[in-house]
Amino acid sequence: MKKILFLIFMWIGFLFSTDKIFLFDMGSENSPCLENFIKITEKDMYQSGKYGWETKNCLSFDQNFSEYGVGSLDLDPLLRDLVKSNSSLPIIFSVDVSKGKYRVGIISGQIYSGNRLLAPSFWYSGGYIKLNDKKIFEKEGDFIKYAKFIFSNFEKDFLPGDSLFKRYILPYYNIITASTDETEKIRIEFSNFFPVNGIIIYPEEKIIEFNRKLEEIFENSRKYIDEKLKIVEEKRDENLIKKYKNENFLLFLTQYYEKLTPYSIPDEEKINQPVKKICAKGENITLSFGILPINDLKEVELEISDLISDTKEKISGKNATFWITKFIPELLRKSPDKYMIEEKYAIRYKKSDFASLIPRKILVLFEIPEDIKEGEYKGKIFVKSGNYVKELPVSIKVLPFKLQESDIYFGMYGKYPRSSLFRYITKEDKEFIDFCDILMENIFKEMRQLGFNWACIELPWNPLIIKGNAIEVTPVLKRWEAIYSLYKKYFPKAPFIIYGQISPVFPRGDVNIWRKTGFTEEIKNQMQMTADWISDYFEKEKNERDIAIYISDELSNYGLEGGKFGAEHASLIRKILEGKNIKLFASMNGVPEHLMIPYLDFSVINFDFPITEETITKIKDAGSKLVFYNIGNNRFSYGFYIAKLHPFGRLQWNFGPEHYVFYNFPSFPTLGHINYSLIVDSEFNLGKRLDVIDMSEGVIDYRYYLTLKNLIDKNKNTKNEKLREILNKAEGFLKYITESIKTDIRYYTKEASVWSGETCEKIRVMLTNYIMEVLNASK
Amino acid sequence: MHLNKFLIFLFLFKILFSSDFIILNWQNIKNLKDFSTTYDIEIPYVKIEDEKNMMNEVINKGCKIENFKVFPIGITPKFKSKAYICYDSENLIIYFESEKSENYTLKARKFEKEEGKVWNDDNFEIFIDPFLTKTRYYQIIINSIGQVYDSINYIEEIPDPKAADPRETKKNIIIDISWDSKVNYNIKVEKNYWAVVLKIPFLSFGFKNAPLGSFIGLNLCRNYWETSELLQWKLTPGEGGFHQPDKFGILKLKETDSKKMPLIFINNFYPGYGENLLYVDYKKIENIPEEVEVEIKIENNDTKEKFIKNEKVVLKGIEGKIKIPFENKLKGKNIFYYNIGFKNYNFGGIDFVDLKSLIDVKLDKQFLYYEEKSLNGKIRFYLGENELKKTELLISLNENSKREKIKGNFCEFKVATEHLKEGENIFSITLYKDKDKIEQYNFKIFKLPKIF
């Protein structure tokens, strides 16, 4: 009997021993719980002798991305869900334990706010964690530090063998560990914004098991992501590498538009080939070459010499800047469990290490002075790693003419940076405002440098509000003033599009409200008040450029009803603005919006409007200006396609930044979706998106086309027979180019390769040759 | 790289000594179909003895489907569903049942015309892809008072009007409600569940009787608006909602002792314009001659113009291959249906072929740098197999030309361009049938001046 009693006491003693380990997984009622963990929702309140929340201000959240439409990926049961404070007050989690010292591990992180537009407030806010009233973790709410962290994502390459989890998930989670003094209660306080994903508690003497458990947790989280998504590996031709195994690296010729992946191996005939380019005076050119490291390379440096012509004229090497393309993973649309690694943008080159056998593309951007003499300029690019140096010859042939300025407005849509990147930050201090304004100026400057002469920028909303019968100005108006003054500096002649809500009722209407009530007298009055105010505000400016209001956006998404609403809305605004010399601008993407054409000054249409001879005639007959938007982020749709149809303007979504937070930088779960992002490095310098470079080359193609066309027109009455013959040939060529292009750009959905970057480049060479022949014959 | 240089050398050598300016590499692209399809369920043959007791017979003898999940997240529903499936010689038979709360009155309206609004009632929804095309499927919805919506749907990729680039596509569903499923049904509504049994004739899909050799795509869905729980057998989250035939389940009709089937493969040809051949491979159970009726139906998807050919053929020997000639004079987007009808069962096949033109020519470039020595291209011929044999090809580049018989439905070619003149050159491809020109394509090839 004594033995039995002894065993019972032993068993009870074991149950209440300091060996007790607690594993908590915080989350919502319906979200999964990690195996062998205790599920804690916001409703699990503390009871003496047990565990739970001491505070009632808890909120749980499940980061199930697929429900929010940003991707179908999710995280493992521990990291995907959390509990946090729903107010400005802290939350407290307590556990009653047997007397002793404990090791506590807290996993705290959030990757999704539940709103596609917003970053989790935890990312940019300060806060603390206290363990039994002692601060064990403190996080600064430093805006600049946060912005640097976000943009540093653009500087990192993602290469074969890298972990998606470590790159895109882990940096957003904190693992905080601390020990208690001897205690019978563990009390953890989290300031507001702090998410709690999980807590593990071990007796202090079991620190080895504790550390092992944390490792195991994160290894499981890693596997959950990395084993779910597979990289598409490509085969590499090893012959070339074997042949050059004694070299440190190879230099090869490649173009900005040629696809390079981490598995690419250059054609042997491209190795050590000189970089060559022809250009007009004053043209900004993009040269490129590749580096294939045979061994790992340390601290690779790039330099370029001055370029010297036969007549000893010089283009300074200082006119050149080096840029390196970065690899990021991109989910395959048709197999969303797989991803490829692609290059989509370039950032300014800094001394870097290169992994062996991963080819790198370097862009060399050159500003060719306007006042330079024609001729072939030769120089060298030097690539150095340690004591090993290689040279690559560079040759630029400067032509004896300048390109014609464009007679078409080429631009892109964009946004005031605060609108999306930092939408959640409410502070209005100078540091933050200056940051946004400087970024805005850099956007305009970059667009101008790329050759665009127009921009359509979404402004912060509601500089005006209506109170009763009066209009009140909000602090947003100051931002409008700053943006407009920058716009005038970089686009001195282009129309200014007021893109964004001016007051809560104007200009954009709501189809759903209109369906129920139509435009009420009250709404009409408020619209009229806003229109009068804005017309007065731009009174002087109206004489210097077109001031247009962006009244609606893709109403065909609502079907025929959208078109009917659009026509009534546009006709009402036209009436409201009568005699005020403010123009109407609408982006339209379908047949229902044809009803709007009679009321618009700028009919801005995409491929699905559609673009046909019939719709173009309809727009021109109505006296509306034809603008194409969203017909492709490529060279052809900014170049030779425009040469065929000669619209008033050409816009494309989007120079950046993007609306949704995850589309603004390489991140999870929107892997690879940075198609409309603003590329910024951690020093806040703008990068180069490869598609934007392609579009800007299209603008230059158009200017070559225009230069030749104007030369033909200028010489059309010539009596010089030789010149006449050349003009006929050149005219025939231009006609051939424009006639081989289909008006309906949807044709190129399946036939995109016909008008590749290479084709456009070659046509540009043909145009150059004709320009030279005409110039020579007309001397 | 050595190999490349060697190939270029060989190519130039051949051109130099044969005076050929072009090398053609003929191929025959086969229309291979995937016969390795696995299936989710095998459904039994059930002879319904008593129509009035059909529900019980299907429940007792059919193949059970349960574990329906909530669309799109896949959790277990509050109100569950189950189904039983079987077939008889003429129909696919589905019993479908759903729980309901006792006090809830099922939402059910009568509709003047068929327009899909029945979807907003409490209903059962069935998707059937009888040829496992994964792009073309039938949809039947029925509510608790027997209002039926039925349609044939097609999925096509179109430029996404909301995208910034027309190359970004989205799936577009084309719905044709003129299709009549000719479904028969019985409905039962009880306090805490309701059920329906549906008999869908195989003839409505073009099979004269049970298509024993076929794999059929199927999804079963239930919409219950009291709790807004949409249930699915096979979950189809993502773009397209329920309309994702590539995610449907696959069923197979189980053989019975009296219906041991031969194996039939309709294979290895691409239908085209003009004279075609249909190949049927067979492997029978018994070595006795058996007569089958072969039906070939061609339907133009846009004009709905049709062509039908029926032919009776005797399958001799235990295995063999038959060839059936047929002619197609329809251009545009065509659907080719093939039906091999035995006495009690059928084998079916389908092809979708877009016959925009007789041939499709692609050149990898029309502009050549001065230093470029060759250009590549390919030709796809959209002609029937017998038509191809009667057709000749003439390819010319400036004054050089080469004429030859067509040796396949696809051809890759390499043209020597080193000796082209700077500027404009004319490259043309002409098709001849019985010495008559039937199609011609001209391309300009531009050789760029030497820049450096």
Spatial contact of A597 and A616, defined as CB atoms under 8 Å apart? no
Among candidate residues B365, B440, B352, B362, the one with its CA nearest the CA of residue B396? B440
pLDDT band at B12 (very low <50, low <70, confident <90, very high): low
Closest CA–CA distance from residue B165 to any residue of chain A (Å): 4
CB contact under 8 A, A607 and B159: yes
* Interface contact flag, B4 A589, Cβ < 8 Å: no
| The pLDDT value given to residue B18 | 47
What does the pLDDT look like over B352-362, one tens digit per residue? 888 988 999 99
Cβ count near A430 (within 10 Å):
8
User: Which amino acid type is present at position A360?
Assistant: R
Q: Which residue of A has its CA nearest to B424?
A: A733
Least confident stretch, A176-180, A710-714, B69-73, B249-253: B69-73
Residue contact A749–B167, C-beta within 8 A: yes
What is the number of CB-based contacts under 8 A between chain A and chain B?
Answer: 89
Range in A526-540, A628-642, B209-223 with the lowest mean pLDDT: B209-223
What does the pLDDT read at residue A657?
Answer: 93
Q: Does the structure show a pLDDT above 70 at A677?
A: yes
Q: Contact at 8 Å (CB) between B143 and A654?
A: no
Going by pLDDT thresholds of 50, 70 and 90, the confidence category of residue A770 is very high
pLDDT, mean over chain A: 93
Secondary structure class of B52 (helix, strand, coil): helix
Q: How confident is the model at residue B148, as a pLDDT?
A: 96
Q: Say which residue, B352 or B9, is predicted with more confidence.
A: B352
The reply to whether residue B368 touches residue A634, judged by beta carbons under 8 angstroms, is no
Predicted pLDDT at A775:
97
Interface test with A, best of B4, B70, B135, B165 (most A CBs within 10 A): B165
Backbone angles phi, psi at B76, to 5 degrees: -75, 135
Q: Do B368 and A762 touch (CB under 8 A)?
A: yes
What is the DSSP-derived secondary structure letter of residue A29?
Answer: T
Is the Cβ pair A759, B365 closer than 8 Å? yes
Span B174-206, pLDDT tens digits: 999 999 999 999 999 999 999 999 999 999 998
Q: Residue B420 carries which DSSP code?
A: P
* Burial per residue of B56-66, b for 16 or more beta-carbon CB atoms within 10 angstroms, e otherwise: ebbbeebbebe
| Cβ-Cβ contacts under 8 Å, A66 against chain B | 72-73, 237
pLDDT at res. B83: 98
Sort out which chain B residues have CB atoms less than 8 A from A746's CB and list them.
159, 166
pLDDT bin (cut points 50, 70, 90) of residue A12 is very low
Predicted confidence at residue A14, as pLDDT, reads: 42
CB atoms within 10 A of CB B264: 24
Cα B265 to Cα B282: distance, rounded to the nearest angstrom = 7
Confidence of residue A159 (pLDDT cuts 50, 70, 90): very high
- For tokens 């093939």, name the residue: B338
User: What percent of chain A is predicted at pLDDT more than 90?
Assistant: 84
Burial of A163 (0-12, 13-18, 19+ CB in 10 A): middle
Residue of chain A whose alpha carbon sits nearest to that of B5:
A269
Distance from CA of A239 to the nearest CA of B (A): 8
Q: Is the CB of residue A534 less than 8 Å from the CB of residue A527?
A: no
Helix (H, G, I), strand (E, B) or coil at B114: coil
Beta strands in B66-147 (DSSP E): 69-70, 81-87, 91-99, 123-129, 136-143
Coil vs helix vs strand at A480: helix
CB-based contact B84:B62 (threshold 8 Å)? yes
Q: How many helices (H) and strands (E) does chain B have?
A: 3, 30
Residue of B nearest to A655 (CA): B164
Find chain B residues with C-beta within 8 A of A612's C-beta: none
Question: For the CA atoms of B10, B15, B16, B18, what is the dihedral angle to 10 degrees?
Answer: 110
Contact partners, residue A82, CB within 8 Å, separation at least 6: A26, A27, A60, A61, A63, A109, A110, A195, A196, A197
Q: Write down the pTM of the prediction.
A: 0.89
Helix (H, G, I), strand (E, B) or coil at A314: strand
Give A201-255 pLDDT, tens digit per residue.
999 999 999 999 999 999 999 999 999 889 999 988 889 999 999 999 999 999 9
Structure tokens at A646: 């000669």
Radius of gyration, CA atoms only, chain A: 31
Give the number of other Cβ atoms within 10 Å of residue A500's Cβ. Answer: 21
Q: What mean pLDDT comes out for the span A625-640?
A: 97
Contacts of residue A748, defined as CB under 8 A and 6 or more positions apart, other chains included, come to A632, A636, A742, A754, A755, B166, B167
**Across the interface, do A752 and B167 touch by the CB < 8 Å criterion?**
yes
Average pLDDT over residues A768-777: 97
Check residue B19 and give its pLDDT: 47
Q: Which of A64, A652, A769 sits opposite B164 (nearest CB)?
A: A652
Give residues with Cβ within 8 angstroms of B407, minimum separation 6. Answer: B26
Mean pLDDT on A520-538: 96
H or E element that contains A768: helix A757-777
* A238: exposed, middle or buried (Cβ count in 10 Å: 0-12, 13-18, 19+): exposed
Which residue is closest to B158 within chain A, CA to CA? A749
Mutate which of A337, A558, A607, A673 to test chain B, going by most B C-beta atoms within 10 A? A607
Candidates A72, A239, A608; nearest CB to B159: A608
Residue B354 and residue B331: Cα distance in Å, rounded?
8
Nearest chain A residue to B171 by CA: give it. Answer: A334
DSSP notation for A331-352: E-SS-TTEEEEEEEEEEE--SE
- For chain A, how long is the longest CA-to-CA vector? 129
What is the average pLDDT across A341-363?
Answer: 97
Residue for token pair 């004053």:
A282
pLDDT band at B257 (very low <50, low <70, confident <90, very high): low
Instruction: Tell the burial category of B387 from Cβ atoms under 10 Å away from its Cβ (0-12, 13-18, 19+).
Output: buried
Q: pLDDT value at position A331?
A: 87
pLDDT band at B434 (very low <50, low <70, confident <90, very high): confident
Residues facing residue A578 across a β-bridge:
none
> Per the omega criterion (within 30 degrees of 0), is the bond before A274 cis?
no
Q: Which residues pair with B212 in a beta bridge?
A: none
Among candidates A268, A556, A631 on the partner chain, residue whose Cβ is nearest the Cβ of B166: A631
Interchain proximity A606–B237, CB inside 8 Å: no
Which residue of chain A has the CA closest to B452? Answer: A397
Q: Is B277 helix (H, G, I), strand (E, B) or coil?
A: strand
Whether A49 has a pLDDT exceeding 80, the answer reads yes
Contacts of B166 in chain A (CB under 8 A): 607-608, 631-632, 745-746, 748-749
User: What are the chain B neighbours of A280 within 8 Å (beta carbons)?
Assistant: none
pLDDT band at A7 (very low <50, low <70, confident <90, very high): very low
pLDDT at B386 over 90: yes
Instruction: Choose from A74, A344, A750 for mutation: most chain B CBs within 10 A.
Output: A750
